[in-house]
Amino acid sequence: MAQTYKSDVEAIDGLASAYKNLKSEIGKVIIGQDEVIKSVLIGLFSNGHSLLVGVPGLAKTLLIQTISDALQLDFKRIQFTPDLMPSDITGSEILDESRHFQFNKGPIFANIILADEINRTPPKTQAALLEAMQEKSVTVGGRRYELPKPFFVLATQNPIEQEGTYPLPEAQLDRFMFNIPLDYPTFEEEIDVVKSTTSDKSVSVNKVISGDDILFFQKMVRKIPIADNVLEYAVNLTAKTRPKSSRSSELADKFLSWGAGPRASQYLVLGAKCNAAINGKYSPDIEDIQSVAINVLRHRIIKNYKAEAEGITEEDIIRSFF
């Protein structure tokens, strides 16, 4: 049962408190990566999926497992491999003893799905997540099955330059609210990581938020008011990424083959609302839009050969729009 609040202001304060409690519990296990944790939790409270990108060994999987440990939700892990089939994710119909087809639910039927190394499986299997991520349902044998609520896909991806990886289709990438890169820890952080992981000390993570709380906060985030000029800034930011359009920027025309769609504008606004709330503000401003913009837009723009040749990154292009 979700906690009740007397006013919307009190509810926003409740979200900020829930965020701090979650971050505190996660911090018992995960050292550093503050911005990564913040982005994943913003996605959680905004009802958005997140894609974590980094080389093996940066605790991507451990981070997601730790988040699930702090939530009172059903958690399933799917290890994506080249031989994984769509039915291994969604489930399949089998013929029972009475010669009737019975649907056996796959691991997708959980609140939190860890799609581990999602780009190590071919596009056909990756596509099994498309309906689940967008419609929060699965269709098998012509029948539609609702997924439990709340429902999140937190996926990890190895850099596409590594062997044995398949690029995620654009339609799949667009389902993710955030594309979050993980970098190597600092020297001091790595010292702490090695100390904590090579001793016999065990850490327990407390469950601090229920599924009902998350559903409540997701609805509350949508109710947060936003000024017209801030909303227009978000939409204009997305429009600037579209080369050769009426609002495109000079850099987009020069370095981009493709820009972001309307879903980017929606996630910019939702992410900004949540970012404002966890920082104790009752309405987002332009700084909140900019705070989430790179993670929202990074995977929705496609660079051309000229950008690759000149070493221009997606982050360089997005920041030029601010």
Query: Which tokens belong to 176?
Result: 């993710």
Domain boundaries, position 55: 8-213
- Residue written as token pair 């998350």: 214
Residue 2 lies in a domain: no
**Final residue before a domain boundary, out of 186, 213, 240:** 213
Which residues, 6+ apart, have CB-to-CB distance to 283 below 8 Å?
Answer: 224, 225, 226, 227, 276
Tell me the Ramachandran region of residue 32: left when phi exceeds 0, alpha when psi lies from -120 to 50, beta otherwise. left
Identify the pLDDT of residue 276: 96
Q: Are residues 128 and 242 in the same domain?
A: no
Q: Are 176 and 299 in contact (CB under 8 A)?
A: yes
Residue 231 and residue 162 in one domain: no
Rounded Cα distance between 118 and 7, Å, is: 41
Give the CATH number of the domain where residue 45 resides.
3.40.50.300
* Pairwise CA distance, residues 304 & 33, whole Å: 31
Query: How many domains, the chain?
Result: 2
Please tell me whether residues 167 and 241 are part of one structural domain.
Answer: no
**CATH, residue 266:** 1.10.8.80
Each residue's pLDDT tens digit, 269-287? 999 999 999 999 999 999 9
Would residue 221 count as lying in a domain? no
CA–CA dist 223, 282 (Å, integer): 10
pLDDT, tens digit (0-9, with 9 covering 90-100), for 188-215? 888 988 888 888 877 888 888 999 999 9
Structure tokens, 35: 């911005």
Hey, how many other C-beta atoms are within 10 angstroms of the C-beta on 17?
11
Together in a domain, 166 and 27: yes
- Specify whether 147 is located in the same domain as 242: no
Residue 213: per-residue pLDDT: 92
Q: Strand pairing of 176-181 and 71-72? A: unpaired
Residues 106 and 233 in one domain: no
